[in-house]
Amino acid sequence: MQSQQEFRSQTRTWLEQNCPESMRTSMVQQEVVWGGRNAEFANPDSEIWLQRMAQKGWTCPTWPSEYGGGGLDKEQAIVLGEELARINARPALNSFGISMLGPVLLEYGNHQQKLEHLPKIVRGEIRWCQGYSEPGSGSDLASLSTKAELQGDNYLINGSKVWTSYADKADWIFCLVRTDFDVPKHSGISFILFDMASEGVSTKPIQLISGSSVFCETFFDDVKAPASNLVGRLNEGWTIAKRLLQHERTMISGFGLSAGQSDNGGTTSTISSLEGTAMDYRGDSKKLSDPVLRDQIAQFKIDADAFAHTSKRSIEESKQGQGPNATSSMLKNYGCELNKRRYELMLQAIGSQGLGWEGEGFNDEELQLTREWLRSKANSIEGGTSEVQLNVIAKRVLGLPDILSLAQK
Amino acid sequence: MALVLSEDQQLLKDSAKNFCEQNAPVSVLRGLRDSKDEQGYDQMIWSQMIELGWAGMAIPEAYGGFDFGYGGLGVVLEETGKTLVSSPLISTVLVGATAIVQLGSETQKQDLLPKIVAGELLIALALDEHTSHKPSRIATTATKIDGGYCLNGSKTFVLDGHIANRLIVVARTSGETDGEQGISLFLVDANAKGLNVARTIMVDSRNSSNIQFNKVAVAEDALLGELGQGFNGLDSVLDIARIGIAAEMLGSMQAVFESIVEFLKQREQFGVLIGSFQGLQHRAAEMYSEIELCKSAVRAALAGLDDPDTTQAEIAELASMTKAKLSEVFFLVSNEGIQMHGGIGMTDEFDVGFFIKRARVAQQFLGDASFHRDRYATLNGF
């Protein structure tokens, strides 16, 4: 058995030799690598970095090596994370396959499904999207009505999804479908995978208040998905759906981390130091001249510090346990609210220069900030609203009685 | 830097929890208050705490201590916070012993630390002079006289001042009233001539006092630390104390929160448990989140204290982060503790009132949230 010290020194050496220089700088939005059939590499070094990391399985360090993962234990994965952070290495690959689908496939998928999908996620060959919310099913996700009927060896899928992030760019979808309409809503849902290139799939981007459109409407019109693509058992998809949400919430909670501590990575904003920016725009040298803003920034940074420690503690605690649990709702909620606070303070910090929409009179960072501020408003809606997270904490962590289930009885 | 407790720390925490629940519940503090106890603490319980080794927790073995670190003292304080144990643990062990370990000469350490471990010596820090904490604002003077110094001035909010055998007095040997330069610390015997201690009865029923120094003479060797250069050392002692008091606050707020959640699960109104109301659920869930952040802040700060690689600047930042955060959240939780219990929360018969009273004193002690946010900003260069 290799000692941790050896592992660290070997990892350090490997990273020194294999991480391209330009990958050791803070991420810029245009250069984030999502992979997929039509992968784009705005920076050619990103492609080299992805290939090298994928070959080691280090895009998914703890996944078993038989499925292409790094096969590391949690201790080693933490060491790898620390060594990556040490050289400020960019994430080689960003994907919903890594953060959401992969972990639940490992837990609920059959061997064939793991063998087919996991290695492609590790290598960034297939880009996944998430078919969860529907026009009539937002916070009440389990009321979804997209229908899947078994016809021979295939399921025939009809219905539509909304808020499907990057549906227009994704290759495959993991999708919640209703396979039984005659039972209580949670008991008739299944979890299925299919190719977005299938006949009958169409997508339409949704323009947000930020002007951009990562979200889509997604329509299924007699889409055929092989029956073997059903993950877990028929009508038992809700359990998998909830598990995946915990992983999603853990991922989103990371938004809060970048807030106070740039070394924790995460956002793509080029503006990093809130207090530094506030002072620059006021021409202050030693002390921020606006005492109220100064106090608010201090309070924010203190919360961000405490949150970063909490996030770290939760990782340490999960070493002994079973990965994310209901506390992921707490992290998601707090992280998102922090990130929103951060953008509001950033707007205050740069005043009217933070309110430009386009064109002359503003630099690129300022214009990007305006858009990111607006985008951040979705943080506490996507992946379950803050209100839903508070419901989950009350019910699952504090064990308070659930008035909704009382009402349904 | 580990943010989860080690096995040893967990064992210590469990045993402290057990001790406090069995031997020192809130009813002990209530009894001390109601009987207007002269000492303000239960001497039998204190002796048991001494026997458990709590006084030597963070003191090196060379001076009779147990070298268990501030992580160890921290979990003990967290548990004593849960039942609001009134004892010299904060004045003597957290603040006093720390000051001697950090600043004392070899002779002072050899002389005083074993006595603290054995429970033979109580110490009080005489620092604040005004209604709000600002450790550089010192008007009390120590003038050089033949063979020593002469102290003049007055101090307030001195924890355990009326029961201490020895005071650590922060005085000015030079410089401006509001400056960090010229501050010196002195060990003063509680029986010294010219010393007038007036106990103050505080809202939290714990010991505090106002002290006047009227030409109090001390010898040369009463000086603790460097002459005129005492501020930095004092501040690092205070940082450790701020983190320790935050650990106690963490315990107290958890006790209040536990009581709230329990109440929500048993109190019925309109034919249902009030815990099923979303208005209350969300407030509870938000408090839970804030308390989790507090727990992480305290663990990180304690781990920082025990890690020899942590710099003084890093500890200062951890201390202000932690004390500011804990002060804010204890304020929230203690207020909600009253409101969410409704009418019973307002009664003296119910314990939650003791916690809101303790909260305000602990918030103020060694700097409130506003003091520490300001300090945090300064430490971070803005």
Each residue's pLDDT tens digit, A319-373: 666 566 778 899 999 999 999 999 999 999 999 999 999 999 999 889 999 999 9
pLDDT reported for residue A406: 59
* Residues in B touching A286 (Cβ below 8 Å): 381
Query: Which fold is adopted by the domain A243-408?
Result: Butyryl-CoA Dehydrogenase, subunit A; domain 3 (1.20.140)
Instruction: Compare CB distances from A306 to B265, B296, B381 and report the shortest one's residue.
Output: B296
Residue B169 φ then ψ, to 5°: -110, 130
B67 near A CB under 8 A: no
pLDDT at A237 over 70: yes
Query: Tokens 């205050």 — which residue?
Result: A348
Give how far A201 is from chain B: nearest CA, Å.
39
CA B118 to chain centre: 20
Which pair of tokens denotes residue B321?
Answer: 């982060």
pLDDT at A30 over 90: no
A96 near B CB under 8 A: no
Instruction: Compare CB distances from B288 to A275, A286, A393 and report the shortest one's residue.
Output: A393
pLDDT reported for residue A265: 31
- Nearest residue in chain B measured CA to CA from A302: B321
pLDDT reported for residue A267: 42
The domain limits of chain B are 7-120, 125-229, 231-379
Length of chain B: 382
> What distance in Å separates the CA atoms of residue A41 and residue A30, rounded to the nearest whole number?
9
Instruction: Compare CB distances from B278 to A302, A333, A403 and report the shortest one's residue.
Output: A403
Distances in Å between the Cα of A62 and the Cα atoms of A59, A87, A263, B3 are 9, 21, 22, 22
Was domain B231-379 assigned CATH 2.40.128.50? no
Distances in Å between the Cα of A357 and the Cα atoms of A213, A379, B44, B178, B367 are 16, 21, 70, 49, 43
8 A C-beta contact, residue A157 and residue A68:
no
Pick left, alpha or beta for residue B64 (phi over 0 → left; psi -120 to 50 → alpha; otherwise beta): left
Give how far B156 is from chain A: nearest CA, Å.
28
Distances in Å between the Cα of A162 and the Cα atoms of A206, A230, A371 are 9, 21, 22
Q: Are strands B223-224 and B183-189 parallel, antiparallel or unpaired?
A: antiparallel
Ranges of chain B whose pLDDT falls below 50: none
Which pair of tokens denotes residue B238?
Answer: 């205070």
Which residues have a Cβ under 8 Å from the Cβ of B38 and sit 6 or more positions away? none
Contact between chains at B382 and A306 (C-beta distance less than 8 A)? no
Which pair of tokens denotes residue B184?
Answer: 């010196």
8 A C-beta contact, residue B199 and residue B209:
yes
Residue B181 φ then ψ, to 5°: -75, 140
* Residues in B touching A390 (Cβ below 8 Å): 281-282, 285-286
* Helix segments in A57-179, DSSP class H: 74-86, 96, 102-108, 111-122
What's the pTM?
Answer: 0.89
Residue B111 φ then ψ, to 5°: -75, -45
Residue B214 φ then ψ, to 5°: -120, 95
Beta bridge partners of B216: B151
* Residues in A touching B325 (Cβ below 8 Å): 302-303, 306
Query: Tokens 């890690």 — which residue?
Result: B307
8 A C-beta contact, residue B49 and residue B89:
yes
* A403 pLDDT tier (thresholds 50, 70, 90): confident
Interior/surface letters A88-101, b for 16+ CB within 10 angstroms, e for the rest: ebbbbbbbbbbbbb
pLDDT reported for residue A262: 32
Give how far A390 is from chain B: nearest CA, Å.
6
One-letter amino acid for residue B306 of the chain: D
Give how far B229 is from chain A: nearest CA, Å.
25
Question: Which residue, among B152, B143, B135, has the nearest Cα to B192 in the 3D structure?
Answer: B152
Q: Give ipTM to 2 decimals.
A: 0.95
* Residues in A touching B321 (Cβ below 8 Å): 302, 305-306
When pLDDT is averaged across residues A160-185 and rounded to a whole number, the result is 96
Contact between chains at B276 and A406 (C-beta distance less than 8 A)? yes
* A397 pLDDT tier (thresholds 50, 70, 90): very high
Which residues have a Cβ under 8 Å from the Cβ of A190 and sit 6 or more positions away? A148, A176, A177, A178, A179, A230, A232, A234, A235, A236, A237
> What distance in Å separates the CA atoms of residue A343 and residue A97, rounded to the nearest whole number?
28
Query: Which fold is adopted by the domain A128-235?
Result: Butyryl-CoA Dehydrogenase, subunit A; domain 2 (2.40.110)
pLDDT at A166 over 90: yes
pLDDT reported for residue B165: 97
CATH class of B125-229: mainly beta
Query: Tokens 């010196």 — which residue?
Result: B184
The domain limits of chain A are 22-95+110-122, 128-235, 243-408
Question: Which residue, among A390, A376, A373, has the nearest Cα to A330 in the 3D structure?
Answer: A390
pLDDT digits (tens, 9 = 90+) for A66-124: 999 999 998 898 899 889 989 999 999 999 999 999 999 999 999 999 999 999 999 99
* Helix segments in A165-290, DSSP class H: 237-253, 257-260, 274-282
- Nearest residue in chain A measured CA to CA from B281: A394
pLDDT at A268 over 50: no
Residue B257 burial class via C-beta count within 10 angstroms: exposed 0-12, middle 13-18, buried 19 and up:
buried
Give how far B148 is from chain A: nearest CA, Å.
41
Query: Which fold is adopted by the domain B7-120?
Result: Butyryl-Coa Dehydrogenase, subunit A; domain 1 (1.10.540)
% of chain A beyond a pLDDT of 90: 80
pLDDT digits (tens, 9 = 90+) for B62-109: 999 999 999 999 999 999 999 999 999 999 999 999 999 999 999 999
% of chain A beyond a pLDDT of 70: 92
8 A C-beta contact, residue B3 and residue B303:
yes
* Residues in B touching A276 (Cβ below 8 Å): 382
* Residues in B touching A309 (Cβ below 8 Å): 3, 293, 296-297, 299-300
pLDDT reported for residue A261: 33
8 A C-beta contact, residue B204 and residue B358:
yes
Residue A244 burial class via C-beta count within 10 angstroms: exposed 0-12, middle 13-18, buried 19 and up:
buried
8 A C-beta contact, residue A61 and residue A80:
yes
> What distance in Å separates the CA atoms of residue A399 and residue B280, rounded to the nearest whole number?
13
Give how far B369 is from chain A: nearest CA, Å.
9
Contact between chains at A398 and B273 (C-beta distance less than 8 A)? no
Beta bridge partners of A130: A174
pLDDT reported for residue A259: 38
Kindly write down the DSSP assignment for every residue of B310-355, as one continuous string. --HHHHHHHHHHHHHHHHHHHHHHHHHHHHHHGGGGGSTTSTHHHH
8 A C-beta contact, residue A158 and residue A70:
no
Instruction: Compare CB distances from B4 to A298, A313, A400 and report the shortest one's residue.
Output: A313
> What distance in Å separates the CA atoms of residue A31 and residue B320, rounded to the nearest whole number?
38
Mutation target for B interface from A295, A297, A310, A391: give the one with most B CBs within 10 A.
A310
Whole-number CA gyration radius for chain B = 21
Query: Tokens 């699960």 — which residue?
Result: B265
Question: Which residue, among A63, A71, A35, A65, has the nearest Cα to A50 in the 3D structure?
Answer: A35
Give how far B178 is from chain A: nearest CA, Å.
19
8 A C-beta contact, residue A368 and residue A270:
yes
pLDDT reported for residue A3: 85
pLDDT at A200 over 80: yes
pLDDT reported for residue A326: 78
> What distance in Å separates the CA atoms of residue A201 and residue A195, rounded to the nearest whole number?
9
A300 near B CB under 8 A: no
Beta bridge partners of B123: B166
> What distance in Å separates the CA atoms of residue B358 and residue B377, rounded to the nearest whole number?
27
Contact between chains at A309 and B273 (C-beta distance less than 8 A)? no
Question: Which residue, among B371, B239, B376, has the nearest Cα to B301 in the 3D structure?
Answer: B239
Distances in Å between the Cα of B287 and the Cα atoms of A395, B268, B293 are 14, 22, 10
Helix/strand/coil percent split, chain A, to 5: 55, 15, 35
pLDDT at A270 over 60: no
When pLDDT is averaged across residues A184-193 and rounded to a whole number, the result is 96
Distances in Å between the Cα of B76 and the Cα atoms of A88, B15, B19, B80, B95 are 39, 9, 10, 6, 15
